[in-house]
Structure formats: C-alpha cells, structure tokens
Chains A and B, each alone.
Chain A
Amino acid sequence: MSNKKQLVTIKGTKEGLSIFIDEACSFEEAMADLQEKINAIRPKEYEPIVSVHVKLGNRYLLESQEKELREILNHKSRFYIESINSNVILKEDALKWKENSEIKAVRKIVRSGQVLEITGDLLLIGDVNPGGKVVSTGNVYILGNLYGIAHAGAAGDRKAIIAASYMKPTQLRIADYISRAPDYESDGVYMECGLIDEEQDKIVIDRIQVLSRNRREISGFERRILNG
C-alpha cells in the first residue's frame, strides 16, 4: 500500500483546501483511493464544514462520473465542494461557449417589420427603426440609433446589457424583464445603456460608464470560461 503512487492528494493551498486527483490513472482507481482517504479521516459531527476545490488536471469527467465524485465527497464527510476544475472540456462545449460569447458584427438597418436574431453578443452597425426588433442571447451593442425593440439575454441571462450610440427605444427587454418608453414625448439619450438593477428589480438606463463598475464580466471571453 505504501509503495503505491498517491492517486488522490489533499493539500492546503492559498485558495483553501484542494483535492488533487491524478490524471493518469483510471477513474475507478481514483475513486477507490478517494473513498479510502475519506474513510480514514472519519470526521466528527462537531467539526466545521470545510470547502474544497477539486483539481482534475487533464481529466474530463462525464456527467455520471461527476455525480459519483460529488456523492463520495458529500457522503459521510464535512466537505463542501466549492468548485471542480478541469483543464479540458469537450469540443462540443467549447464551440457552444464560443458561439454564446462571440460578438457578431452585423451591418444593416433593421427596418419596421424586420427581426434580427443572434446567438451570442450582437454588434449592430446601423439603426433599429421603429417597428424593427433585435434579439440576442448575449449583450446588444448598437453603433447607431435604437428606435425599435432590443432584447438582450433572450435565453435568460439577466446580466446582459443593451448599449447604443443613441437610444429612444419603443421597448427594452433583458431576459424576462420588459420596459417601455413613457407615453409622453421625450428625447432620446446618447451613449447610454440599459441593464437590470437588482435592487429596483427593473431595467434602468444609465451612462455607459457605469458598466465598468456593474458589469465587469462583459469584457472577457476567458472570464466566462472560468465562470463556466
């Protein structure tokens, strides 16, 4: 037993407690080793719950395997899984990520009766006229006038934003929120953006500069990958 290579190592790192699982051995072996280690610890009821980061290295976990891992760690131990990190993802998932986080540039005037639908972020170089509609699963950036309807985060992303050079929209929609223009005639605004304000529980329009405070994550594809 002692001459056997350690398949599972538990270490304290600056992030907290980390469980490193060897990437070369089979999943069953690793799980058996993990089980053994957990059994050896045999935590007491009164011990505090410890959060752990699971580091998989270059191992890919199937959904069923991840479930098994979680079961072992949660069962009979005082561990709480903070994250499961792997260096590898499926090509399929990678492409989906790319699709969802890519900025798609479209040069067009979206006229009355036309609908422009995009997966990911939309960069529209042109106007959205009254009666026209743009829909994206990510953010909507408009280099032009927004007079019609813009729907960001159409798949449910409440962090999505709508920014335009000039906006006097009939409606702004973000995820499941809808706001409409006031009934009285009002002037539009230049270089502003619409985003959901969690406190007020509605869509607010503010200067684009607030995004550097409220929505830092819009600037990075990498960040999205890290956040999963």
Chain B
Amino acid sequence: MGEAIVITSGKGGVGKTTTTANVGTALAMFGKSVCLIDTDIGLRNLDVIMGVENRIIYDIVDVVEGRCKVRSALIKDKRIEHLALLPAAQTSDKTAITPESMKEIVDDLKQDYEFILIDCPAGIEQGYQNAVAGADRAIVVTTPEKSSVRDADRIIGLLEKEDLTEPPKLIINRIRNHMVKNGDMIDVDDIVQLLSIDLIGIVMDDDEVIKASNNGEPIALNSSSKASIAYRNIARRILGENVPLQSLDTEKSMFYKMKKFFGIRS
C-alpha cells in the first residue's frame, strides 16, 4: 500500500509542478515506484516538464468518465523504470472531476505504487479540493516572497482541516542567495518561524531548472546542479533519511560543496 503526497502552494508560479516532477523523479531514482498525477485540468504542465507530452492518449478525465482504465491512461517514463504519469485533461476544466472520484483513483493507484505525488493547481477552489482529497501527506511549496508566504499560510490553515497523517511539510523554492544576503529577500528562518511547520527542503534559484524543464528532462536527472541535489535531498527526507540542509553559501566552489555534501552524508 503506497502513500499519496499532495504538492500545493496556494499561489501560482512558485514551482509546484517542477517540484512534483523532480521529487518524483528523484524518488524513482532511489528505486521507489512512483506515480505522478497532474490535477491541473485545463492548464496541464507536468507532462511537458516530464517530456512526455506527445505520448498522451488518455487523461484523468477519461478515467473519471469511464472511457478507459486508470492503468491504460498512465504514461511510463522513458528514462526511469517504475515512474509513471497520469496526465490532466487539457480540454475540460476543474469541475470535470470530483473529490470522491479523485480519491477513488488515488486509492486504486496506491495498490501498485509506493508513492503517488499529486500536483495541485493554484488556488483554493475545486481544483485544490480535488487534489487534496486522496492525499495522506502534504508538501507546501513557497518562495521567499511575502505574497507567496501569505498564501502558503492560508493553505496550511486549510490543510489542517484535511484528514492527513501528519502536519504538512515545507519546501522553500527559488532562493536567490545574493538577495538574501543583502536582506532584500525574506530569510529562510523567518519563513519557517512564521509558518511553523517542518522544513523538508530548500531549493536555490537555478537557471538550469528552466533549461531542463524546457528540454523535458527533470533537473533531478542531472547529477551536478545544485537544484538537482536539493531535490534529491528532499526525496531522501521523504524516505525518512536525516539529511542536513544545503548551505546557502555560493562563494565556495561546486567541488567543495559536493565534497562537503558527500562528507556530511557518510
């Protein structure tokens, strides 16, 4: 029996889909069987980032409306085994599925996969309701910006009402080191203190992420980039490993950081 984790944020554009793709890929790289579900019906992106857009035949609405079985709508990843994607429909809208039907699909997939990662659409309406319906755990993604932290706070308040096995975890995405240093960006500690939930990872703002997304290759596959390491660390923490947070310092060379990273690990 697998576990379903919803990845949500309230605000749009903070990196929910990128996080879902990369954490999912990283979990699969560690040998877990993973299924990603895109619930952003009408504005699907997860398939693009995973580079499987052209393989979609059936989508989640087809499954809900009984045109196909869940398993035949799943798209197997071309690079990693045990990684699959259930794409959203592009032609319908959020009301095409209900929380009940979503829960049914998630419960069904939990039989076959160890992790189900649900990519939640922005907002707190129907799309959000659908996405959290089947989830056991939740990860809230925020960026070090006031508006996105406010929305994260709102979402955490809403998630408290859901039937989750543990309080949501926090990912702080797109941290720009030089801005944090100058005091132009909210400090990681301040965000954690305000939201008062456990931090499960921080991800630096990295141009490589955008490049990788455009190529349909999740950055987690690329072993050397900072963001890639961050995503793999998050996957590890989800698996229960105790991995220290990445240092925010960019002054040191990548080589040093890698050494330090591996040094801490052992």
Interface residues of A (CB under 8 A from B): 109, 111-114, 127, 129-132, 145, 147
Tell me how many residues of B have a C-beta within 8 Å of chain A.
11
Q: Which of A114, A145, A147 contacts B157 (CB 8 A)?
A: A114
Q: Please state if A147 and B154 are interface contacts (CB–CB under 8 Å).
A: no
- Tell me whether B153 is interfacial, beta carbon within 8 Å: yes
Q: Which of A109, A111, A127, A145 contacts B154 (CB 8 A)?
A: A111
Q: Which residues of A contact B195 (CB under 8 A)?
A: 129
Between-chain CB contacts (< 8 Å), 28 pairs:
A109-B196, A111-B153, A111-B154, A111-B156, A111-B157, A111-B160, A112-B150, A112-B151, A112-B153, A112-B154, A112-B157, A113-B154, A113-B157, A113-B158, A114-B157, A127-B194, A127-B196, A129-B153, A129-B194, A129-B195, A130-B150, A130-B153, A131-B150, A131-B153, A131-B154, A132-B153, A145-B194, A147-B194
Q: Which residues of B contact A130 (CB under 8 A)?
A: 150, 153
A112-B153, A114-B157, A127-B196 known, 11 other contacts, Cβ within 8 Å: A109-B196, A111-B153, A111-B154, A111-B157, A111-B160, A113-B157, A113-B158, A127-B194, A129-B153, A130-B150, A131-B150
Bitwise, B7-50 to A at CB < 8 A (1) or not (0) is 00000000000000000000000000000000000000000000
A147 to B196, CA, bound (A): 14
Q: Which residues of A contact B156 (CB under 8 A)?
A: 111
Of A111, A114, A127, A129, most B-chain CB atoms within 10 Å: A111
Q: Which residues of A contact B150 (CB under 8 A)?
A: 112, 130-131
Could you tell me which residues of chain B, from 129 to 175, have a CB within 8 Å of some CB in chain A?
Answer: 150-151, 153-154, 156-158, 160
Q: Which residues of A contact B160 (CB under 8 A)?
A: 111
Of B150, B153, B160, most A-chain CB atoms within 10 Å: B153
B78 vs chain A, min Cβ distance (A): 41
Q: Which residues of B contact A112 (CB under 8 A)?
A: 150-151, 153-154, 157
Residue of A nearest to B194 (CB): A129
A157 vs chain B, min Cβ distance (A): 29
Could you tell me which residues of chain B, from 106 to 140, have a CB within 8 Å of some CB in chain A?
Answer: none
Q: Which residues of A contact B194 (CB under 8 A)?
A: 127, 129, 145, 147
Q: Which residues of A contact B158 (CB under 8 A)?
A: 113
A109 to B156, CA, bound (A): 10
A222 vs chain B, min Cβ distance (A): 38
A132 to B160, CA, bound (A): 15
Residue of B nearest to A109 (CB): B196
A193 to B156, CA, bound (A): 29
Q: Which residues of A contact B157 (CB under 8 A)?
A: 111-114
Residue of B nearest to A131 (CB): B150
A129 to B194, CA, bound (A): 7
A114 vs chain B, min Cβ distance (A): 5
Q: Which residues of A contact B196 (CB under 8 A)?
A: 109, 127
Q: Which residues of A contact B153 (CB under 8 A)?
A: 111-112, 129-132
Q: Which residues of B contact A131 (CB under 8 A)?
A: 150, 153-154
B241 vs chain A, min Cβ distance (A): 28
A55 vs chain B, min Cβ distance (A): 54
- The 5 A-B pairs of least Cβ separation, nearest first, read A111-B157, A112-B154, A112-B153, A113-B154, A111-B153
Q: Which residues of B contact A114 (CB under 8 A)?
A: 157
A109 to B153, CA, bound (A): 10
B156 vs chain A, min Cβ distance (A): 6
Q: Which residues of B contact A113 (CB under 8 A)?
A: 154, 157-158
Q: Which residues of A contact B151 (CB under 8 A)?
A: 112
B208 vs chain A, min Cβ distance (A): 33
A147 to B150, CA, bound (A): 11
